[in-house]
Amino acid sequence: MPTVEITTEYGRATREKALLIVNPRSGNTRALDLIAPVIEALSNKGYETWAFTTTGRGDATRLANEYGAECALLVVIGGDGTVNEVIRGIMTVEAELRPVIGYIPMGSTNDFSAALGLPKTPDGLIETAIDGVPTPIDVGSFNGRHYAYLASFGAFTDISYSTPQNAKNALGFLAYLGSGMNSIANIRPIRTTVVIGDKMMTDDYAFASVSNTPSVVGVINYQRSRVDLADGIFEVMLINYPRNAVELGKVARALSSGDYNCELMHIYSCSEVRFILDDPVNWMLDGELVESGHDVRIRNVPSAIRIMLPRKKPRPLFE
């Protein structure tokens, strides 16, 4: 009997641990339906799982910070805002102790999961989150606060909040696009100096974003070949304030068509950018509104985390 007890305890001690963080409000509470199958899949892979549901803002960050260093895998079920919180928590853990993140998106419009190329089905998402390929990706630092894929201000900053939740759940991208076009019709000029390398530009801007994703708030879409999630580089989009109906029409047509060859729109690639604002504005970090001061410095933290991406299916010898 003592031998059996020692062996059992040894087996428990050597099993890898997984941390499961679930936002129960995501996807009209559909996230709750995935808890049992995810825990079962983790158990089948040999993980000892700690599971938590969040009850308010900041919970996911706290849990990732508190338990992240003890786990090999952290699975998060929620929207982009939840995974943003998880990444903020993980970035407080020493680099060599950070767990791999498995992301199962349950938001209404999941730009980050689209950038990662995650599967669409629940079974595919669970399989990738637990048994995918751990892949390094870059993280952003916004005055020292970490974010996953998008920092922006201006015309589209409040889309996540001005679009009704029921419309987002029902329409997804279309709801965001509609809100975006309404937003641009009510924009105001934001006097800003933008510093990229040795280039300094001062102008009135309607919108600015620093992103690591092909899709920005469902309105701006880069060519996928332009965006590499682990190249240490961000894409910066600046849209000048349109001063009349003609200029507003040019911006609206460019956004609608996806052809950004417009004199009012400027795209840069860089690892660091600084914004010096005449008046502080609210920024959006991965869908969450945050306040900033007059001076905002954003830098790319290369290959800061690892996230599970889909395994490539072997091609058959004969098709």
What integer is the mean pLDDT of 149-164?
A: 69
- Asked if residue 226 and residue 122 are part of one domain, the reply reads no
Does residue 247 belong to any structural domain of this protein? yes
What integer is the mean pLDDT of 39-61?
A: 94
For residue 5, name the pLDDT band (cuts at 50, 70, 90).
very low
What integer is the mean pLDDT of 128-151?
A: 95
Distances (CA, A) of 282 to 61, 102, 187, 190, 315: 21, 30, 14, 11, 48
Range of the domain at 81: 2-131
- Asked if residue 171 and residue 222 are part of one domain, the reply reads yes
- Asked if residue 288 and residue 185 are part of one domain, the reply reads yes
What CATH number corresponds to the domain at position 78?
3.40.50.10330
- Asked if residue 165 and residue 110 are part of one domain, the reply reads no
Identify whether the C-beta of residue 62 lies closer than 8 Å to the C-beta of residue 1: no
- Asked if residue 113 and residue 230 are part of one domain, the reply reads no
- Asked if residue 126 and residue 21 are part of one domain, the reply reads yes
Number of neighbours of residue 121 by Cβ within 10 angstroms: 8
Which of these, 101, 130, 105, lies nearest to 118 by C-alpha position?
105
Task: Say if residue 59 is exposed, middle or buried (CB neighbours under 10 Å; 0-12, 13-18, 19+).
Answer: middle
Identify whether the C-beta of residue 217 lies closer than 8 Å to the C-beta of residue 176: yes
Q: Can you tell me whether residue 86 is helix, strand or coil?
A: helix
How distant is the alpha carbon of residue 229 from its chain centre? 11
* Residue 95 vs residue 220, higher pLDDT: 95
- Asked if residue 169 and residue 127 are part of one domain, the reply reads no
* Residue 6 vs residue 283, higher pLDDT: 283
Secondary structure string (H, E, C) spanning 22-55: ECCCCCCCHHHHHHHHHHHHHHHCCCEEEEEECC
pTM listed for this prediction: 0.82
Render pLDDT for 240-273 as a digit per residue (tens, 0 to 9). Answer: 998 888 888 888 888 878 888 999 999 999 999 9
Question: Domain total for the chain?
Answer: 2
What CATH number corresponds to the domain at position 251?
2.60.200.40
